[in-house]
Amino acid sequence: MLAQSPDGDFITQCMFQPLSPIFAKHGTARGGNVLGIDRITDNAVLWLATLAVKGAEQEEFGRAKMSAWVESVNGFAKSVGSDVEWQYLNYADYSQDPLSSYGRENVELIRAAAEKYDPMGVFQSRVPGGFKISSLP
């Protein structure tokens, strides 16, 4: 990025957080959740990579760089058998599909709750942004 940014005005951040199966175990003991973390059977790491830039041109360039980096890390994780399907919704980019990583059963629970508590689909169609359960097959 530094070599390609004309003014060097950007910020990057890379964070790692542990994701242990014990989180799901405790959650399941208390009734479970719809996030699907109980499907993670080994210790894992949440990885968040961010980039802040100024201007559309820098965003386009930066997004391409970040996407390539993510693909590279994901490819390496797969090559060593350490990839995890699950994605944390709060860290997901709009190009990702975190809801699908929660598992079909959990998706159906979320869909049922949305239909029960939002029968008119206000949060699915009239609230911009976010990941919408209605967008999943």
Closest CA relative to residue 137, chosen from 106, 102, 108: 108
- Residue range 104-130, pLDDT digits in tens: 999 999 999 999 999 999 999 999 989
* Domain contains 3: no
- How many structural domains does the chain have? 1
pLDDT at residue 116, as a whole number: 97
Q: Show the tokens assigned to 17.
A: 């957080």
Model pTM score: 0.83
pLDDT reading at 8 higher than 90: no
> 8 to each of 1, 4, 59, 95, 98, how far by Cα in Å?
8, 8, 13, 26, 32
137 in a domain, yes or no? no
- Indicate the Cα dihedral angle 88, 10, 95, 43, nearest 10°: -30
Of the pLDDT bands very low, low, confident and very high (cuts 50, 70, 90), residue 102 is very high
The answer on pLDDT for 6 being more than 80 is no
Closest Cα to residue 37, out of 50, 48, 27, 52? 27
Residue whose C-alpha is closest to residue 70's, from 134, 131, 12, 117: 12
- Residue 48, in any domain of the structure: yes
Q: Does the residue 63 lie in any domain? A: yes
Predicted confidence (pLDDT) at residue 7 exceeds the cutoff of 80: no
Which residue range forms the structural domain that includes residue 92? 10-104
Sign of CA dihedral 69, 50, 27, 22: positive
Q: What is the pLDDT of residues 22-71, one digit of tens each?
A: 999 998 899 888 999 998 989 999 999 999 998 888 888 889 999 999 99
In a domain, 124, yes or no: no
